[in-house]
Structures are given as C-alpha cells and as structure tokens.
Amino acid sequence: MTQTATTIPDGPGRDVTPDRCELVIVSYHSHGHVAALLDQLGPDQRVVVVDNASGADGLRELVTRRPAARWVDGRDSGFARGANLGARSSTAEFLVFVNPDSRPTCEVLQSLLRELDADASVGAAAAATSDAAGRIELGVAGWEPTLRRCLVYAVGLHALLPHAGVYARPRPGEAVAPEWITGACLAVRRSTFLELGGFDERYFVYNEDMAYGRAVREAGLRQVLRTDLLVPHQAGSSGGGSTKMPQQRGASMADYLHHHHPRWPAVAMRAVLAAGLLVRALVAQGRGRPEVRRRHTAYVRGIATRRSPYRG
C-alpha cells in the first residue's frame, strides 16, 4: 500500500487525555530550551526528558520538579537511541517526539493525537516546523533519495521544483505526499512505533526520520503531514556546534544511502551531493558569507568521509 501524507482538517474526534500520551524530549546541553518548552505545556502533561548530557547542565533538577515529568540519563547516545529509550520506558498509548528548540502548543499536540486516535492506519503524524519569519522549514518532510532528486537538491533547483528534490518545503496549508516526515514534532502510537523497530539507531542524529518513514511505508501504513499546524522552531540552536551538525547531516545521509541502496547508485548520489554543496560553498565564500561556506564544507566532509564528529 502506498502511503499518503497530506493536510486534512481536524475531525470530530475527542481530545486525547494527558494520561494517554507522553512527550519524548531528547536533550543535549539544552536546559534553556527544555525549560521554555516545559513552561508552555500544562502541568498534567506527561513528559520524559532523555538527557544526553547526563545532568551536566542541571536538567535533572528542572525535570524532577514537575509531577508528571521524568528524567532519563541518555549517556550521550544520540537522538535515535535516546528517543527509543524514552519510548521503550514509557507506558503511554501515544508518544510525541518534540525537539527541545520547538514550541508546539497543546492545541497542535491534540490535533496530531486525534489523527492517530481516529485512524489505526496512520503510522505517524507530524506538524510542520517554521522559522522566525513564519515560513515552513526545508526538510519538514521529503522523498526517498534518487540520483535525480539528489541532483535537483545539489544544484539548488528545489527552490523552483519544490516536489522534485529530496527535501520538501510546502506552503502553509498545502497538501503534499512525501515519503517521510520530520521527527521534530512527530506523534506515533507507541505500540506501532516499537513494532516497527523505533528509530534506526545506526544514525546518531539525522536520517532516522527518513528511515522511519521507509519502515512505515513498508508496513503499509500512512503518514500525515499537517502543514496547517505550524510549530516555531529554532533550527540548529541546540545540541552541537556550527560545523558539527552539518558534518553529521552529511555523514548520516551517506550512511542512509549505503544502507538502503546498491553500492554504486549510493556512491553516485554521494558524489552529486558533495559536488553540489562544494559549489555552494564557493559561491557563499565569494559573496562574503563565511559561516554559510563553513556549513556547506562541513556537510561535504561528512558525506565524503561518512565520519561522524560525535562518534570515534
């Protein structure tokens, strides 16, 4: 069964009570972000914070002061493993994975949970994250990489052909049918998530949502991207340095390509992405944008070497 992912209005379903849902937040030196996120949630909302900094920034004390929250030591295990740890230790019927630097409202969370509660064929439902200008971010969803899609993204044609690249950037309210959806604000039925193996722990961070989307498709389940639900997100503002995260993004993409595609197509896609981002780096340098150049160069380093800056 081919999945569909679209924008659909809320149905007449009832709200999911707080006892049926637990939020999973994976943090790494993100005390300020987690504090702001918890302040936005009601005191009765169940929350598990998986702390990959092992309490170094005082997060444990913050979390344990909330009656419905619990703290778990993630031991610097990365996002995928930390998220799975939160899921496996939960007893809730539904889970919502939320990035520390995202700000979903209770209304947004309820809309996602109603999608799951109303239809057992929905394997995942996500809200669209937005930037400071209110635009939906590139990468809230996307499609399985192919040589053509990688080429479109690498040369920047995805701005003109928004459905032809690897990453989607839909307009608010636009119906789209991607093959995977973002894990930044992702609701799942816990039993389904665990039956599908959770997030693939071969990825320290990045591409675990792409891999989970693949598992959902192969199980014949649907995914829903709610582009009418916008969640403010300070992308890249938690969890790592300015070049570490782009390098990890490149390394994770390279790993994904080799895990799910034959060797030579995977090598070709890596080469296309590396060449395209290298050209972008040179253009950024010429325009006097050294920070952008450093990010693109770090991505190239990651996809060329498959070397994670977080793993030895």
Q: Give yes or no for a contact between 74 and 52, defined as CB atoms under 8 angstroms apart.
A: yes
H, E, C per residue of 274-296? HHHHHHHHHHHHHCCCHHHHHHH
Same domain? For 157 and 266 the reply is: no
Q: Check pLDDT > 70 for residue 13.
A: no
Q: Check pLDDT > 60 for residue 4.
A: no
Region 50-54 average pLDDT: 96
Q: Check pLDDT > 50 for residue 8.
A: no
How far apart CA 119 and CA 223 sit, in angstroms, is 11
pLDDT-derived band of residue 7, with 50, 70 and 90 as boundaries? very low
Same domain? For 116 and 162 the reply is: yes
Q: Is there a domain that residue 4 lies in?
A: no
Same domain? For 72 and 100 the reply is: yes
Number of residues that make up the chain: 312
Same domain? For 165 and 286 the reply is: no
Same domain? For 191 and 251 the reply is: no
Same domain? For 165 and 288 the reply is: no
Decide which of 235 and 245 is more confident: 245
- Of the ranges 11-25, 231-245, 297-311, which one carries the lowest mean pLDDT score? 231-245
CATH number at residue 114: 3.90.550.10
pLDDT of 14: 72
Same domain? For 217 and 267 the reply is: no
Domain end call among 232, 258, 276: 232
Region 237-251 average pLDDT: 79
Q: Is there a domain that residue 272 lies in?
A: yes
- Per-residue pLDDT of 247-271, as tens digits, reads 999 999 999 999 999 999 999 999 9
How far apart CA 198 and CA 194 sit, in angstroms, is 5
Q: Check pLDDT > 80 for residue 236.
A: no
pLDDT of 12: 45
Same domain? For 268 and 219 the reply is: no
pLDDT of 6: 41
Same domain? For 164 and 255 the reply is: no
Enclosing domain of residue 221: 18-232
pLDDT of 310: 86
- Of the ranges 151-165, 184-198, 211-225, 253-267, which one carries the lowest mean pLDDT score? 151-165
Q: Of all residues in the chain, what percent carry a pLDDT higher than 90?
A: 85
* Residues 37, 38, 39, 41, CA torsion sign: positive
149 in helix, strand or coil?
A: helix
Classify residue 287 as exposed, middle or buried by CB count within 10 Å of its CB (0-12, 13-18, 19+): exposed
Region 75-96 average pLDDT: 96
Same domain? For 148 and 260 the reply is: no
> Which residues, 6+ apart, have CB-to-CB distance to 110 below 8 Å?
15, 16
Region 183-211 average pLDDT: 97
The DSSP call for residue 19 is: G
- Of the ranges 82-86, 159-163, 166-170, 268-272, which one carries the lowest mean pLDDT score? 159-163
pLDDT of 18: 83
Total domains in the chain come to 2
Stated pTM of the model: 0.92
Q: Give yes or no for a contact between 209 and 188, defined as CB atoms under 8 angstroms apart.
A: no
Q: Is there a domain that residue 32 lies in?
A: yes
Region 94-102 average pLDDT: 97
Same domain? For 204 and 280 the reply is: no
Same domain? For 214 and 271 the reply is: no
pLDDT-derived band of residue 9, with 50, 70 and 90 as boundaries? very low
- Per-residue pLDDT of 27-38, as tens digits, reads 999 999 999 999
pLDDT of 44: 87
pLDDT-derived band of residue 193, with 50, 70 and 90 as boundaries? very high
How do strand 46-51 and strand 69-73 relate by DSSP bridges? parallel
